Amino acid sequence: MTGPLDGLLVADFSRVLAGPYATMLLADLGADVVKVEGPGGDETRSWTPPQREGISTYYLGINRGKRSVVLDLREADDVAAARELARRADVLIQNLRPGGMAKFGLDFESVRRDNPGVVYASISGFGSGAGAEMPGYDLLVQAMSGLMSLTGSPDGPGYRAGISVFDVMAGNHAVIGILGALRHRDATGEGQHVEVNLMSSALTGLVNHSSAWAAGGVVPYRMGNAHPSVFPYEPFPTADHDLIVIAANDRQFQRLCGALGIPEVAEDERFLHNGDRTTNRDALRPLLEEQLARRTAQEWFDVLTAAGIPCGPINTIDGGFAAAERFGLEPIIEVGEGDRALPTTRHPIRFSATPVDYTLPPPELDEHGAEVRAWLSTAPPEEDA
């Protein structure tokens, strides 16, 4: 066994980000993922720059561990192959608009007739009800969910997050749903339809902001880098660069004031407890800034870290990887061997007994087409697993 999902067959009819990210995670865990692409391939193959040896790094970042087969669903033979793949699959994942798979006989009800144990996962933008016709772009969801109303300066426009955060979140939710459904299948033999949509992932992912509205009737607003409920919890200027400084409880705040040389501030009744500090942040902030301006960010990082205060620099991506290296996280691994070896980001979960599988590099278009088609056309049903 090379991973906890070794022996599981995943038919991947998804494209772009949320679905391919989910199936990459499943492949990392040992599943055999067959990536079904149309004649032009997944759009992300051409999303450049940047690129590595002519291949989009976007595509490379979310498609390791898979086998690629091109199936043109306008052709009867390829539709038949797709249906046979679905019949054999333990998991089928797709992110066409709701109803889009039905015209090929690849919707859940059609697949379930021949494969009652299938776990069929659908990812959409806004669900299969009244929002079914809405296209599922992350930027739309960032806008419509309210995230952009929370991102940016208080007196400026809303901004999108620097990544397609809800695509990634929905991909993770799809994996969680699939694993839950597989556990149910282990117990009952029954498959089921797992539905995930970006909008619901967004609303649950907004956590405290969602709860502010749902439970408190409060509409949160943009605060730049500030936190609505905790202070200090933001970047502060030092003698050279900004430094993130966090004191999320009273004890941390006392240690912070001691390390900054202003222990009396921790005894000020305006700042005794988190609610006091948050309410009186405009009075507290200049007291902290005055002390932090006396040393560089690196000097304060060393002092505050030694005092047990959460703090850190604002890195670029290369700095983030360098920090992970220093922490012993080994953030970059190689997938594949020889000329196909590719440096890529390590899977975030480590298993003590069933290590993550980094065997297959991201596939070239239809790289495994011949072997997959041959297997689909010749393997007897009783040998399918």
Known catalytic residues are: 167
Strand, helix or coil at 45? helix
Nearest of 97, 101, 100, 135 to residue 118 by alpha carbon = 101
Tokens of 242: 């900004």
Residue 285: other Cβ atoms inside 10 A: 16
Query: Partners of 94 in the beta sheet?
Result: 13, 122
**Residue 164 Cα to chain centre, angstroms:** 8
Q: Distance between CA 168 and CA 52 in Å, rounded?
A: 22
Nearest of 215, 6, 20 to residue 206 by alpha carbon = 215
How many CA atoms lie within 13 Å of 108's alpha carbon, on the beta-carbon side? 18
Q: CB within 8 A of 227, min separation 6: which ones?
A: 233, 234
DSSP letter at 148 equals: G
Query: Partners of 196 in the beta sheet?
Result: 123
**Residue 379 Cα to chain centre, angstroms:** 36
